[in-house]
A and B are shown apart, each in its own frame.
Chain A
Amino acid sequence: MKFNIILLLLVFLSFQACTDLKEELREDLTNDQASKLVKVDALLLAAYDGLKLPYQDQSRFWAAQEHTSDAAMGPTRGPDWDDNGIWRSLHAHTWTPDHSFLTSTFSEMLQVVYSTTNLLQFDPTPQQAAEARYLRAFVMLSVLDGWGQVPFRDAGSSLLEDAKVLGPQETVDFVVAEMDAIINDLPAGPTNRANKDAARVLKMKALLNKGAYLNREAPTFAAADMNAVVAVADQLIGSGKYQLEDNYFDNFAPKNDAISSENIWTAENIGGVSSGNVRSRWFCTLHYNQNPSGWNGFTTLGDLYNSFEDSDLRKKADYTGMTDVSGINAGFLFGQQFDKDGKPLQDRKGNPLFFTKEVAIKESGANLEVTGIRVIKYPIDYKSGDNCDNDYVYYRYADVLLMKAEALLRTGQNGPALDLVNELRTKRGATTLASLSAETLLAERGRELYWEGHRRSDLIRFGKFLTAWEEKAASGKERLLFPIPTQSLASNPNLKQNPGY
């Protein structure tokens, strides 16, 4: 009997355990607990930080814009840099929907769309809301530029529901309307925060490219859009806030937030403290035996190099703080390379470190280490360690002038367009042009904006993206858009694969 009493006691105790199966969190918080801790400033900062990887990393949107163009290539160098063809497929226009860099770029950019939209739920100030909406529109235009479809959710909608998808017209209309709506709430500066002028340039970009976004195979440009581009450009020119820089490379150098008078919208990188991967711009191209020891990867192509006059400051210039430290010049690195004392450098096999114009997409020869002209757009920061002080440049004044010239040209105003281009060329140490055509304007954009992440969009807008160039055959029209990544298609049935993939 005693045994049964113990048993009954155990039964009684154990029935206490009968449960409603509610799961209690221990290391994490519920929505209610978390929303009390949210600080809008922190969310906004996180949204700015969210731009760093997809724009500054060498394998993200920059690669999508430059490697796919006539300005950059990531050749396979024997056992190095093949990475299962991931770089080659960009330049050769043979990428697939599973291209992991394009997949990551798409996904990371849309994370910014999420985080900026999410922020709007937490009662931001008008300026905080305007900054978040600027970042969102900026990213959405990039996604439209790359993929032609922009998944979008309104603030507060469930993440389990499939996002709606905005097409080209809807996205351009959205971006333009957003810029008009937020401009009064945006601050005037600095350049590395969403600001009024950044909103103006974004609107120009949306309108200038609209014709190409609506019809990539045969873009047409409405006069009203072009006139609007010119009007916004005139506002920026008339403000007197910006001048073309005497030293072209000051725009990209350490402390460019203080010394450049050209930059309009940049990403803040704080030397020694926090930065995006801007250092990859020089690491990806420098040879192992240069200072710093690079990854010996990307090059530009001979035709772009050959299109510069020798007097052009954009082609090659010593830069104080870099050339005196390492012997490396700004601009293009062609021919024999030297250290800071002028001593010729050698490659790892002991041959002269002599960068050649000739470069194949698949290098296998004895000189595979040294083929291809290297590019230093951002003067190297030797003082700040891994976190470099060069703010990353999204938009600058020279681009505004060239966009105005393009809008003038597209509305038949060749004379004023030519003046603008020649004003820029003179400042850069190049001779003036006698006349201006679409072709010469595209080439000038190539010289002014090389390796800044605009080239693919420019080639599409000028109808040249599918043509053959060095180490690339003519490509099919499906290449005017990137494929929607497989994993994105899997998670959202509202996305449709772009034709041809």
Chain B
Amino acid sequence: MLIASQTVEDIAPISTDAGFTGNLIGQALQWNPTVPLTTSTGEFTTGKNNPLVGETTINPLNLLDGHFESAKTTTTLANVSPYWNITDNLIYRYRLGINYGLGNTRGAISGKVNVQGVTDLGLAGMANNELLSTIQSHTLNYNKAINDNITLDLIGGYEYQKFDFKGYALAGRGFAVLDFDNTNAVQNSANANKRFISYADPISELQSYFGRANIGINGKYNITATLRADGSSKFGTNNKYGIFPSLGASWNLKAEDFLSDSENVSDLKLRLGWGKTGNQEFPAGSAQERYGLTENGGTILENVANPDLKWESSTTLNVGLDFGLMNNVLTGTIDYYSRVTNDLLLDPSVSEPGPAVRAWKNINGEVANTGLELGLNAQIVNKANFAWNLGGNISFLKNEFRNYSGPPILTGNLFGQGSSGAYIQEMKNGYALNTFFVREYKGLDESGSSTYTDDGDKLYPLGDPNANIILGVSTGLEISKLSFNMNVNGAFGHQLYNNTAMSVIPIGNLGNRNIDAALLEGSIKESTANPIASSSRYIENGDFVKLANATLAYNLGKVSKLSNVRLSLTGQNLLVITDYSGFDPEVNTVNLRNGVPSSGIEYIPYPSAKSFIFGINVSF
């Protein structure tokens, strides 16, 4: 099998780690609404032709016009999977899969845009990345019904994966001609401002030996045991391999005598599972000592060896019940799980005195996730010309970082004006992951300045970005040839941090830039001199219910020579019910600090689109 595809994407100038001048979204939010974006002569309005516009303010229309970025991704997939029936019960299977991806980006910012360091110079560059991944596996499968009651299914195998990533980028700044697509002639940039880099990660390899045994007894009991030994070249020399066993059992109660005749209970199954899985998501080359070459021919220590670096592992225990009632008119599942993740992979700084590098380590402490999930689906009406089903699921979740003895691990860096060095989240023993630790905002004083508990010197845990409840509802209705489907989802009990409100549209903008209109609503007038500071003021409830998609379709059936014609209209992201004041409560911009993941922070992201799709499906 061979598949080749290519996608081309035009990218808008929206980075989420922008400084005080912001990105396109931020510039659009901040733009003084009383100033037109273009002058009467058709030029872009800037600080040069309009004193109401600040010197460093970037006209978003100007940026959009002067910014160009196009990313082309080419993917080629090839798969062969021959097999050999050695005996009736024994099958050997070989699989070879190759995935080659090539990403090519070209971009430029015109010198006519008011961006510091680019104005009157122009910037153009391109980047090229390629990833070749190969997977090979050999499996032997033995499958036999030992007698009428017992079936046995055994699989043993070996799997090998290889990842090869490399790339290059080049860019130039300072072009003589500004009104020109300088990506086509980067060499014409100023000599002092030409840059090129190339890179190649260490080739990383994964090698696994695995076995699985499955026994079915009487169609009632089923037991599956697996054992994997996964090895990764990325780990330290002492710990390349991780052993990951799992055990699953199920009991089909419906097959038992006491239920087999029941009309009310059409399905009932109890499941029990326990297993361990491994995680090796960190950069290749992190376990060994590495020296980088510097421009002047010297070398610099880039990474400290950690020969003990080992797999992060998660142990999951799961109990579940599947049921169907009244001829499966009502079906459902109940699941309880507990997942504990150990040996977390993080890269804290090396113990000082050290070079300016971090080292990947397995830190002590564990992340515990527990959840109760309920799912119900009802076929309320099921007739030839009229069918209606309604389904819902609800999950109750809990998350805790525990048994950790070190000092808090900080993350959640904020960006934009007034945010230098500010962070708002901590991984701290006994708290949920990424709990917000912030100043406690106590409102404005009579001079219009923010006040805080303890004068803002102490940070309090005042929010948790992890939802406690996740909800999904779906329904489908079919009346003759007309059908309607709808999915609603929601999450509750969590908080979000609105870095956009804090840094992009604060009161200090008043005078020449736009502000959040809500700032003018209070009884006390906020002083325009009130400093921007991170605090619980910008923590908001993230509860939401979203109409994720809805489809209305009409099936015309056979139309002249066409065997089937179906018309449909789908809307996505149609309605959001939330008190959250930012763009979208389903937000997560990347606010890492020292590589530690953050969550639940919004900073001028690309707004989520509401889309409508009209479709005609025709079969010949």
Contact = CB atoms under 8 A, between A and B. Distances in A.
A475 B110 CA distance: 54
A159 interface: yes
Contact of B204 (A23, A161, A368): A23
Interface residues of A, number: 75
Contacts of B293: 28-29, 37
A23 B287 contact: yes
Interface in B267-292: 284-285, 287-292
B207 A18 contact: yes
Contacts of B287: 23
Contacts of A487: 348-349, 407, 410, 594
Contacts of A85: 456-457, 533
Contact of B506 (A33, A46, A79, A106): A79
Interface in B521-544: 527-534
Interface in A4-36: 4, 6-7, 10-11, 14, 17-19, 21-31, 33-34
B534 A84 contact: yes
A83 B297 CA distance: 39
A443 B292 CA distance: 50
Q: How large is the interface on B (under 10, 10 to 19, 20 to 34, 35 or more residues)?
A: 35 or more
A110 B94 contact: no
Contact of A159 (B304, B457, B530): B304
Interface of B is mostly: loop
Given A14-B138, A162-B351, A490 B407 contact: yes
B353 A113 contact: yes
A101 B534 CA distance: 17
Contacts of B473: none
Contacts of B138: 11, 14
Contacts of A453: none
A243 interface: no
Given A29-B299, A487-B348, A21 B233 contact: yes
Nearest to B289: A31
Q: Which of A10, A79, A94 has the most CB of B within 10 A?
A: A79
B292 A38 contact: no
Contacts of A100: 421
B351 A159 contact: yes
A37 B284 CA distance: 24
A472 B330 CA distance: 71
A82 B355 contact: no
Nearest to A486: B407
Nearest to A107: B352
B529 A114 contact: no
Contact of A19 (B233, B356, B447): B233
B465 interface: no
Contacts of A6: 82
B101 to A, nearest CB: 18
B457 A106 contact: no
Interface in A75-129: 76-79, 82-86, 89, 94, 96, 98, 100-101, 106-108, 110-115, 117-118
28 contacts: A10-B94, A11-B94, A17-B162, A19-B207, A21-B231, A21-B232, A25-B285, A27-B201, A28-B303, A31-B289, A43-B298, A78-B531, A79-B530, A82-B418, A82-B533, A83-B422, A84-B534, A86-B420, A111-B353, A160-B350, A362-B449, A362-B531, A368-B529, A487-B348, A487-B349, A490-B406, A490-B409, A491-B351
Interface of A: 3-4, 6-7, 10-11, 14, 17-19, 21-31, 33-34, 37-39, 42-43, 46, 76-79, 82-86, 89, 94, 96, 98, 100-101, 106-108, 110-115, 117-118, 151-153, 159-163, 362-365, 368, 486-492
